Amino acid sequence: MANGQLDIGLMGVGVMGRNLALNLADNGYTVALFDTDPEKLSGLDHPGLTGFTDLSAFTVSIRIPRAVIIMVPAGAALDMAVDTLLPELQTGDILIDAGNSNHHDTKRREAELAQQGFEFIGMGVSGGAEGARKGPAIMAGGSQQAWNRAAPMLTAIAAKYHGESCAGRMGPDSAGHFVKTIHNGIEYALMQMIADVYALLRDGAGYTPADMAPLFADLNSGYRHSYLMGITEEICRTLDPETGRPMLDIILDRAAQKGTGRWTALEAQDLGQPANLVEAALLARAVSSQDGLRREIEDAFGSGITGFDQGSVSKDDLGAGLLAGMALAFWQGLQVIEAGSREWNWDLKLTEIAKVWRAGCIISGELVSTIAAQDEPFDATRMITGPFYKEILNEGIPALRRIVILALQDGIAVPTLSGALALFDLNRTARGSANMLQAQRDFFGQHGFERMDKEGRGYHGPWAG
Ligand code: 6PG
């Protein structure tokens, strides 16, 4: 094959990398694949794919100016891949990081590479291995110029929502990875909300996975209709081929995380934004990992769960309450994005972001599609008082309250569902309780407070201590 003929390069041929390459090839692009491990390049039986274990041969095969997708684990491995690749590239080439990188790293890389004359696209890719193969959601960040060049390929391989590509440039430098991080934070919260419902049904109402499957199928309707609800139903139906038992009953109740959920919470904290739903999901994952300790504590205290009959769980409440929780998870995540956009002067368009999330990604579904259809300028913070959210919350909050009460009375932890309620109740309370905190802070640290009856700051109380 003559040099400089292949449309794009891809470095790091794991499952995701291979699937993205096959997706590109299906869309008519020729792809050079690089991996140091020849095993990873074996069985590439698609005429559009050419494998290389030699880096120079790989880069030489790609059309100039080159575009190279890097699909390696975020962090040090990515820095190493970029360092290895750079001497083989020339200015004007575009590097595309398709991993789940921390957006602060992406910011740094983009700036460093721009100084050296290279374009860098930090690209969030959602949809897992299947999405990569059949059409992921793509959240890109970087210069407009880099996007314009890479866009034809990226929009071609992305998922389509009624024919519209779910790939987009979110904004400059690290905006793509920032948006992907918060996408994952919302993903964590939604997943845990479903797990909360599962706990209520299993431990409280004694549902088996087979009992739950039709219920989740019913719940996967209206604004709740979504990718995550769909897979939940399928998971409940699935049997373990080895034992014939429900797969869910075999899987160990210990969940890890790779970092994006934690980053969402940290970003939110740094930006001064509430993030209790992703924090609740993180709490649940952290406690889940301490399974030895959980066993000891259950032995010491008993589980406390007595259970209730299935009739106590109203399916309507479950549906409306879960929808309220889901809507609040999007509200919270979008506010973090809005705050990030302000902080870094990105001018992100929230409805454009929601449009990219309409298909291919883990949080896709009716709710996000409806958010995408709202008018710009779109104010995420105020969306909660708009007609769409009002309708969901007016019905959903009382339902959520009944579900949470049912769970809590029986000792079933539902951290994200109860967190959603706390978030809503805190927000609907015009006169909150922070005056007590301010009094305490002033009492022990003379931190000062504001008064309701006078302008200004730095007032102190006549504390005896
Ligand atoms: C997606 C997923 C995907 C992945 C993450 C989160 O959007 O396709 O978010 O990126 O599942 O790695 O995984 P953890 O739960 O391990 O953090």
pLDDT tens profile 211-244: 999 999 999 999 999 999 999 999 999 999 999 9
Q: Which of 202, 424, 386, 403 is nearest to 317 (CA)?
A: 403
Which range (1-5, 85-89, 401-405) has the least confidence?
Answer: 1-5
Residue 356 is which amino acid?
Answer: V
pLDDT tens per residue, range 399-416: 999 999 999 999 999 999
pLDDT tens per residue, range 97-143: 999 999 999 999 999 999 999 999 999 999 999 999 999 999 999 99
Classified as helix, coil or strand, 18 is: helix
Atom of ligand 1 nearest to the CA of 100: 10
pLDDT band at 464 (very low <50, low <70, confident <90, very high): confident
Q: Does the pLDDT at position 36 exceed 80?
A: yes
Asked if 321 and 405 touch (Cβ cutoff 8 Å), the reply is no
How many percent of the chain have pLDDT more than 90? 96
Atom of ligand 1 nearest to the CA of 188: 15
Q: Does the pLDDT at position 1 exceed 80?
A: no
| Rounded average pLDDT over 175-194 | 98
pLDDT band at 465 (very low <50, low <70, confident <90, very high): low
The crossing angle, in degrees rounded to 10, of helices 276-289 and 291-301 is 80
C-alpha distances in Å from residue 63, one per residue of 51, 113, 150, 381: 15, 20, 13, 45
Atom of ligand 1 nearest to the CA of 255: 15
**Residue 243: CB partners within 8 Å, gap ≥ 6?**
250
Classified as helix, coil or strand, 320 is: helix
260 CA distance to ligand 1 middle (Å): 8
| Rounded average pLDDT over 185-193 | 98
Eight-state DSSP code of residue 63: P
Find out whether the beta carbon of 48 lies less than 6 Å from any atom of ligand 1.
no
| Rounded average pLDDT over 171-177 | 97
Tokens coding 175 = 């905006």
284 CA distance to ligand 1 middle (Å): 16
Instruction: Give pLDDT, residue 252.
Output: 97
Find out whether the beta carbon of 73 lies less than 6 Å from any atom of ligand 1.
no
- Which residue CA neighbors atom 9 of ligand 1 most closely? 184
Find out whether the beta carbon of 82 lies less than 6 Å from any atom of ligand 1.
no
- Which residue CA neighbors atom 7 of ligand 1 most closely? 126
Average pLDDT, the chain: 96
pLDDT band at 161 (very low <50, low <70, confident <90, very high): very high
- In DSSP notation, 224-271 reads G-BHHHHHHHHHHH-B-TTT-SBHHHHS-S-----SHHHHHHHHHHHT
184 CA distance to ligand 1 middle (Å): 7
Instruction: Give pLDDT, residue 45.
Output: 82
Ligand 1 probe mutation, 102, 258, 289, most atoms within 8 A of CB: 258
Classified as helix, coil or strand, 104 is: helix
Asked if 423 and 332 touch (Cβ cutoff 8 Å), the reply is yes
**Residue 362: CB partners within 8 Å, gap ≥ 6?**
126, 127, 128, 183, 184, 187, 227, 228
375 or 142, higher pLDDT: 142
Return d(Cα 195, Cα 313) in angstroms, integer: 16
pLDDT tens per residue, range 193-202: 999 999 999 9
Which range (140-154, 274-288, 370-384) has the least confidence?
Answer: 370-384
Number of neighbouring beta carbons within 10 Å of residue 334: 24
pLDDT band at 376 (very low <50, low <70, confident <90, very high): confident
C-alpha distances in Å from residue 113, one per residue of 80, 86, 151, 199, 464: 14, 9, 20, 48, 60
Strands 164-165 and 160-161: antiparallel
Q: Does the pLDDT at position 377 exceed 90?
A: no
138 CA distance to ligand 1 middle (Å): 14
Find out whether the beta carbon of 174 lies less than 6 Å from any atom of ligand 1.
no
Instruction: Give pLDDT, residue 2.
Output: 65
Q: What angle do CA 346, 350, 355 make, to 5 degrees?
A: 125
Atom of ligand 1 nearest to the CA of 131: 8
pLDDT tens per residue, range 291-309: 999 999 999 999 999 999 9
Residue 102 is which amino acid?
Answer: N
Find out whether the beta carbon of 365 lies less than 6 Å from any atom of ligand 1.
no
Return d(Cα 181, Cα 259) in angstroms, integer: 9
Cβ-defined contacts of 149-154 (< 8 Å, 24+): 149/65, 149/67, 149/94, 149/119, 150/67, 150/94, 150/96, 150/121, 153/7, 153/8, 153/24, 153/27, 153/29, 153/67, 154/123
127 CA distance to ligand 1 middle (Å): 8
Find out whether the beta carbon of 126 lies less than 6 Å from any atom of ligand 1.
yes
Return d(Cα 324, Cα 269) in angstroms, integer: 23
Q: How far apart are the first and last CA of the chain?
A: 84
Find out whether the beta carbon of 128 lies less than 6 Å from any atom of ligand 1.
yes
Q: Which of 79, 114, 115 is nearest to 97 (CA)?
A: 79
- Which residue CA neighbors atom 15 of ligand 1 most closely? 257
pLDDT tens per residue, range 437-460: 999 999 999 999 999 999 999 999
